[in-house]
Each structure stands twice: as structure tokens, then as C-alpha cells.
Amino acid sequence: MDLEFSAELWEWRGPAPYYWLTLPEDGCSYVRAEAAMATYGWGAIPVRARIGGTEWETSLLPKDGGYVLPIKSADRTAERVSQGDTVVVAMSVAPRGGRQANGSGPTC
């Protein structure tokens, strides 16, 4: 993993409620530097992330000039984290599932 940061878990109560971590500015700088090799459009950046012993693939989404990392319910439950908890995350920008940034096939 190329980046480690701490952030507070928060809930967005939109039509599909989800939990998120907001990347700190230094984390956003890393993402911006790496994004061109991985993005697949509309600002989503594929990443591998780890909290404790739980690792997964997801995508960062742009928010307020920075990025937010979604945290699935299963991952929150596995790591026993709740809204308002400060969480340590290890993360790398990476094409999802070994696919090219455009999703067309394996990376070389």
C-alpha cells in the first residue's frame, strides 16, 4: 500500500445511505498524481484499501475538491468500526481487478 491515513467515519444519508472516509489533503495529492493511470471516468479513481485485516477494491469519488472512500457495511462490521470512529487506512491507487483503467482487459 502506498498511502496510510487516519480519518473519521461518517454517514451520508442520501437515497442509498453509505459510510465514507474523507482523504486528507496530502492523500489527495497522492491520488491526483496517480489518477491518470487508473481513472475510468467521471472522477472515480479505483483503489485497493485496507482497514485492519480487511482489504478490498473500491473507487474513490470526488467531493468538495478532494476524495472520499466508501466503506461497505461488511467491512465496517468485520473491523468493528462505527460512525464517528477514527480509522487508519492503507490504500493504493490501482486498476480494479487487474483491468486496464478503461476496464478492457488485463494490465501488462
**Segment 17-72, tens digit of pLDDT:** 689 999 998 888 888 877 776 666 667 888 999 999 999 989 898 899 889 999 98
| Average pLDDT of the segment spanning 84-105 | 71
On whether residue 106 sits in a domain, the answer given is: no
Find the angle CA(51)-CA(91)-CA(107) to the nearest 5 degrees.
125
Mean pLDDT along residues 66-83:
92
CATH code, domain with 67: 2.40.30.100
Backbone angles phi, psi at 13, to 5 degrees: -100, 50
Q: How far apart are CA 63 and CA 7, in angstroms?
A: 15
103 inside domain: no
How many domains is the chain partitioned into structurally?
1
Q: Which stretches of the chain are DSSP H helices?
A: 25-34, 73-79
pTM: 0.79
Q: Residue 4: helix, strand or coil by DSSP?
A: strand
Q: Residue 5: its pLDDT value, please?
A: 95
- What residues make up the domain containing 43? 3-98
- Residue 96, classed as helix, strand or coil, is helix
